[in-house]
Amino acid sequence: MSCANVIKKERTSVINPLVTCQPMGAMYAVTGIRRGLPLVHGAQGCSTFVRYAFARHFREPSEIAVTSLHEDAAVFGGRRNLISGIGNLAMRFKPSLIGAISTCSSEIIGDDMDGFIKVAKKEMKERMGEEEAEKVKIVPISTPSFVETHFKGYDNAIKALVDNLARDPGESNDKVNIIPGIVSPGDIREIKHILALMGIEGLFLTDISDPFDSPLRPSATEMKPFYPKGGTTVEEICDTSNSLGTISLCGYAGSGAVSLEKKYDVPAAVGPIPIGVQNTDQFLRNLKKFTGLEIPDAILDERGLLIDSMADIASRYLFGRKVAVFGDPAISSGIARFVSELGMIPSVVCTGVESPEFVEEMKKVAKESDEPVDVLIRSDLRDLETHLQENPVDLMIGHSDGRLFAKSLDIPLIRVGFPVYDRVGYHRVPVVGYNGGVNLMDRITNTVFEKCYDDNEYWKLQQ
């Protein structure tokens, strides 16, 4: 019987979380802006921990400023820290945008970020002159750490960007807005590749692909200060109200899309993430709906290549094997659906958030795969570990934080998502789109070879 058994964590505490707090998602989003700088209004750890996490996942620098809140701010408020922080950052870095990101501390002490930013702007004009000061946009992003998770922080950031910057609509720009969610540079590049084949210009909200995977070319670096290549320009964000539609790849990142739809009649499509065959099909149908363009043969050929490789491999090596999927709710649900398309059984899917949409999607997967799926929501890796001790699987698919559990349970782990720090290059290799499907399926299959054939039945791999 196929059904989704929803299981919630029984513990109050969290042991090995699958999520982090809101500000990190906002820092991720702001990094995707050309000359955009996140300014975290909190203690130094709030920026340092995240910079560390980004650096070890992407092996790239991550430039995040902080207002350095200390005891005095805890008592008297962080007004001075935020105002002078904005001023110093604007004067020294000449950014196009500062995303002022709140934290638990600044939310608890009740700092009036909007009010402080007004004063900061005034001071900037005095320090830099009106013209220079006007060039620096400042967007307040509210991300209380004790509410929801980094996915919400990402969503809040994108919504804050369009709400503050999108201008009254004029002529259509014939573009499609894409809100990628917390995906990899490789994923964004794959989406760009699909759009290019379709003949569509995309407008990414926001685009971390180059900033978090940028070339080492010292002499080509633009004048100091160092800003990585690429990213979405502020002008583009202002222009999002003129687009044909907005597609949010990840279900949790739809607020900005909905806001553009409500305010400016830019139609929105939120999720599902284009991982696997049917989800990617849906993405293409959305593109077709917004632009009226036909799906070109080149894309259908790519689809055909994925289908071809599935036909060659899936039933022989993958069919009926049990998989545990964990991590990001959007990526996990996409992968769960894809592995069931491969004939595998996504017998447990685990995520750190509580999301009705996620449960709905898992019900669909359970129905399609005609197998029961245990859905662990608002959960953590310890729960997954104990679940897997009772209900073993053949493979785990998720990020590096699951590596020690995978090792002790002796289940191979296929690394996908964020963070992946104990393998290299996975941020460059897409999992979205038909090409991403081929990559992911190859990775899964090769892991099955190593686990199930290499030691004892290696002769079976000769054809």
Answer for which of 2, 5, 55, 442 binds another protein (CB under 8 A) is: 55
> Where would I find the H helices in 292-409?
297-313, 329-341, 356-369, 381-390, 403-409
Footprint of another protein on 269-298 (CB under 8 A): none
Is residue 108 near another protein by the rule CB under 8 A? yes
Is residue 12 near another protein by the rule CB under 8 A? yes
Q: Whose Cβ is closer to another protein: residue 87's or residue 254's?
A: 87
Strands 97-102 and 36-41: parallel
Q: Could you tell me the smallest distance in angstroms from the CB atom of residue 208 to another protein?
A: 15
And the tokens for 238? 């202002």
Footprint of another protein on 321-350 (CB under 8 A): none
And the tokens for 203? 């407008």
Is residue 60 near another protein by the rule CB under 8 A? yes
Shortest CA distance to 343 belongs to which of 441, 427, 249, 463? 441
Instruction: Tell me, rounded to whole angstroms, the distance of Cα 224 from its chain centroid.
Output: 29
Answer for which of 1, 71, 311, 410 binds another protein (CB under 8 A) is: 71
Footprint of another protein on 130-149 (CB under 8 A): 144-147, 149
Phi, psi dihedral angles at 345 (to 5 degrees) = -115, 110
Strand order across the beta sheet in which 175-179 lies: 201-204, 175-179, 245-248, 268-270
Is residue 44 near another protein by the rule CB under 8 A? yes
| Continuous segment of H or E residues that includes residue 65 | strand 65-66
Number of residues that bind another protein (CB under 8 A): 83
Q: Kindly write out the interface string for residues 392-421 of this chain, putting x where it contacts another protein by CB under 8 A and - elsewhere.
A: ---------x--xx--x-------------
Q: Could you tell me the smallest distance in angstroms from the CB atom of residue 329 to another protein?
A: 15
Alpha-carbon torsion angle 196, 201, 202, 207, nearest 10: 80
Q: Whose Cβ is closer to another protein: residue 211's or residue 256's?
A: 211
Q: Whose Cβ is closer to another protein: residue 149's or residue 243's?
A: 149
Alpha-carbon torsion angle 82, 145, 268, 251, nearest 10: 150
Answer for which of 73, 234, 244, 413 binds another protein (CB under 8 A) is: 73
Q: Whose Cβ is closer to another protein: residue 62's or residue 177's?
A: 62
Indicate if the alpha-carbon torsion angle 376, 380, 382, 385 is positive or negative: positive
Burial of 82 (C-beta count, 10 Å sphere; 0-12/13-18/19+): buried
Instruction: Tell me, rounded to whole angstroms, the distance of Cα 315 from its chain centroid.
Output: 31
Footprint of another protein on 170-229 (CB under 8 A): 214, 216-219, 221, 224-226, 228
Answer for which of 31, 67, 142, 280 binds another protein (CB under 8 A) is: 67
Footprint of another protein on 80-99 (CB under 8 A): 80-82, 84-89, 91-93
Q: Could you tell me the smallest distance in angstroms from the CB atom of residue 381 to another protein?
A: 9
Q: Could you tell me the smallest distance in angstroms from the CB atom of residue 213 to another protein?
A: 11
Is residue 76 near another protein by the rule CB under 8 A? no
Is residue 315 near another protein by the rule CB under 8 A? no
